[in-house]
Structure 1
Amino acid sequence: MPKICILSTVNLIHMTLISLYTDFLEINNIEYDIIHIDKYGQFEDNNANRIYPYRIVIDSNWTKLKKLRKYYGFKKYAINLILNNKYEYIVVWNSYTAILFSSFLSKKYKQKFVLNIRDYSLEKFLPVYLIMKKVIKNSFFTTVSSNGFKRFLPRHNYIFVNSMNASLLKNIEKRNEKRDDFKPIRISFIGYVRFYENDIKLINLLGNDARFVIQYFGQGSDKLQKYCEENGIKNVNFHGRFDKSQTLNFLEQTDIINNLYGSGKIELDTAISIKFYYSISYQIPILVDSNTYMEDLIKKYDVGLSIDWNIDNLSDCIFDWYRNLNYQKYIENCEMLCKKIEEENLEFQDQFKTFLVTDD
């Protein structure tokens, strides 16, 4: 039985779709440990054999050097654990983890680790680019959660993995019709709320418009709630931080998924949000920003609406688009895309299986 650990510089709650790996391990009765940074100090549900959270507290007012010292403390802690526990294979979660452990991984675990790239991590800066190039080269394979990332990553034969959460879909009840015409359309953001400028634009656009209910479910939504209270905006609902098991409940209260993060920044323009997968799995249409990779996807498969903030009567455009949506055709597009995703993720499963049985 191979000894495996998952290494991460973020909390479990932010390890989006770690289940792509852990489900495979659990189905095949392979135990695994998790070594990760813990910024919250709270228990996080998991099925790991052993879990090693490294508690750190970061003050946003600290200097970059002081913050880095905290992360290097984790690096020393994790390397000692890895060597003492004699892990054979490592799953490296995100680019920041790869950068922090780059020399260790390349020297001690060459071709014995796999890397999962979830986001842009300053690769446009040459020193970071060169570090990532070396780590990627020394990995057994590297996965990307968006083919849009190829715009900033070194050339490589990446494996594209779709962030489809199979466990979340087990008891799914898919939407099969639009909301009744006489009821307001519920537009929901579900997740960590942090792009306040874009959120406020939507609130100002649709605030107190009886045709809509705007909803923000997730950590950080309290700032938007305060804004709405101060400005007398009534048609907005809020819920703070939640356990991922509550996601389905929030989706059931949603007619359109809000995936409006903004555009014009490489990290926003190239990513595929997990909300895209919620949308096509539950058959709930999605709003995305124009001039992004997400816009390319929803236009290619006709499963959402891209938002150009510069057009007039935008609120009418959103309302008319939803009310005139051919829902049966939309459902067919979602089903076709979900089938395609299942086929694409088989390559990842095959490669991961090969990785775990590779001998020296």
Structure 2
Amino acid sequence: MREKVLMIVSNGFDPDPRVYKEASTLVENGYEVEILCWDRENNYLDKETEILRGIKIKRLYPYAQYSTGLKQIKAYIKFFLQAKKYIKNKSYDVIHTHDFECAIIGALLKKERKLIWDMHEFYDGFNYSRLRSLLYKIMAKFCFKRADGIIYVVPEQKNRYEKEVLFNTKTKVVMNCPEEEVFQGLENISSNKLRISFIGNVRDYNSLKLLMEVGEKFSNVLININGYGSAYEGLKEIEKQYKNTVITGRFNYMEIKKYYENTDVIFAVYNSDLPNTMYAFPVKGAEAIICGKPIIANTRSFFGDFVKEQDIGFVISDKSENELYSVIKSIVDNEEILEKKKENIKKIGVRFLWSNEVLKLIELYDEVLRDNYEYKE
């Protein structure tokens, strides 16, 4: 009999790339997977249930706007209560929660099931108030205590939280690398302009606005912002002021290849005040690498250091207009500078494929479900 997995996500799953990759991997390895989604902005009212690549999807609709902080608490509680009601008479072997707010729900609903906390980000990696930080610390301690398995996305998470994890909790670092087949057959589209693209979750307004402003200083530069997120509406409102910027909005992950085909350089710069920025290895960084695209990243960050050491792009401060201008001007003046970066990317591309991470995910499930504990000292 196939073991049943319930994944819980706090978005509408359109689809969420990491969740989709993990769910697909589990289905391919004999698990029965259902994803319970909080479609908080009600974008998929016509798709309450569906099946995608063998994955069952169920959406719940307590309305809330993204990035409104504690204003979402009422809708969050409704989502918890609806989730509790939905799974009441259903049998699952594992509850696999994605990110912190869903880990709390999973910890509360665990009962006799196994619980896996998929830690997409540092739960304490934002500039919260002291009260909110304290509450999160208390709730995180509860989640650590209840979790049978924890999935980290970067090694720094494991180092940071190692002392908080119980001795018999299984852990793995499963990086958010792209699926090779999504980018197969990629054909670069030629252009007489230098195209600098952001592709992904549009949530850092200031960094992207800076990119738009600097892009205006060049006649032969095009800025592409592809994706949706909390900063999308604000950027879309000012788009008309920038003749060199195109903002496309939400897209299906399976269509992502076309955006990489239409770019020369990937912009992966975020708010440097947040630990989540400084220690992360963004998925768009891995996507850029397997697509052979040079990268602009944050200086003095884990990913920025990697970009600099491997010589696969450029590093700047997220607050420095002059540094971004200098990088773009250096490329405009000598586009051959990108060729060396591309050659270096070719040398490391094979390291950043989802196929390298699959075994770690399956091993974690096997260890969690079989209680094959290797006790920590």
TM-score above 0.5: yes
Contact persistence 2:200–2:226 (CA under 8 A): yes
TM-score under structure 1 normalisation? Answer: 0.83
Give the residue type in structure 2 aligned to 1:120: F
For 1:174 and 1:149, the matched residues in 2 are separated by: 36
Q: Secondary structure in 2 aligned to 1:213? A: strand
Aligned-residue Cα RMSD (Å) equals 3.2
Q: Secondary structure in 2 aligned to 1:7? A: strand
The alpha carbon displacement at 1:24 in A equals 2.2
Show the counterpart of 1:164. 177
Give the residue type in structure 1 aligned to 2:258: N
For 2:252 and 2:7, the matched residues in 1 are separated by: 21
Show the counterpart of 1:324. 337
TM-score under structure 2 normalisation? Answer: 0.80
Percent identity of paired positions between Structure 1 and Structure 2: 19
**Any stretches of 5+ residues in structure 2 without a counterpart?**
127-132, 373-377
Q: Secondary structure in 2 aligned to 1:193? A: coil
The alpha carbon displacement at 1:142 in A equals 0.6
The alpha carbon displacement at 1:84 in A equals 0.5
Show the counterpart of 1:188. 197
Aligned counterpart in structure 2 of residue 142 of structure 1, from 129, 143, 150: 150
For 2:251 and 2:346, the matched residues in 1 are separated by: 32
- Match status 1:18 vs 2:19: yes
For 2:366 and 2:61, the matched residues in 1 are separated by: 32
Are the structure 2 counterparts of residues 69 and 200 from structure 1 closer, same or farther at C-alpha, using a change threshold of 3 Å? closer
For 2:326 and 2:190, the matched residues in 1 are separated by: 17
Give the residue type in structure 2 aligned to 1:213: L
Contact persistence 1:8–1:37 (CA under 8 A): yes
The alpha carbon displacement at 1:3 in A equals 2.2
Contact persistence 2:290–2:350 (CA under 8 A): no
In the TM superposition, 1:32-47 aligns within 5 A as 32-39=33-40, 40-42=42-44, 43=47, 46-47=52-53
**Any stretches of 5+ residues in structure 1 without a counterpart?**
none
- Match status 1:88 vs 2:86: no
The alpha carbon displacement at 1:238 in A equals 2.4
- Match status 1:76 vs 2:76: no
For 1:349 and 1:358, the matched residues in 2 are separated by: 14
Give the residue type in structure 2 aligned to 1:117: M
Contact persistence 1:144–1:158 (CA under 8 A): yes
Contact persistence 2:99–2:119 (CA under 8 A): yes
Equivalences, count: 349
The alpha carbon displacement at 1:188 in A equals 0.6
Show the counterpart of 1:121. 123
Show the counterpart of 2:349. 335
Show the counterpart of 1:275. 284
In the TM superposition, 1:236-255 aligns within 5 A as 236-255=245-264
For 1:191 and 1:239, the matched residues in 2 are separated by: 11
Give the residue type in structure 2 aligned to 1:265: L
Contact persistence 1:280–1:337 (CA under 8 A): no
1:276-322 alpha-carbon deviations (Å, 9 max, x no partner): 11111111111111122221222233322111354846423334255
Contact persistence 1:214–1:236 (CA under 8 A): yes
- Match status 1:173 vs 2:186: yes
Show the counterpart of 1:292. 301
Are the structure 2 counterparts of residues 314 and 88 from structure 1 closer, same or farther at C-alpha, using a change threshold of 3 Å? closer
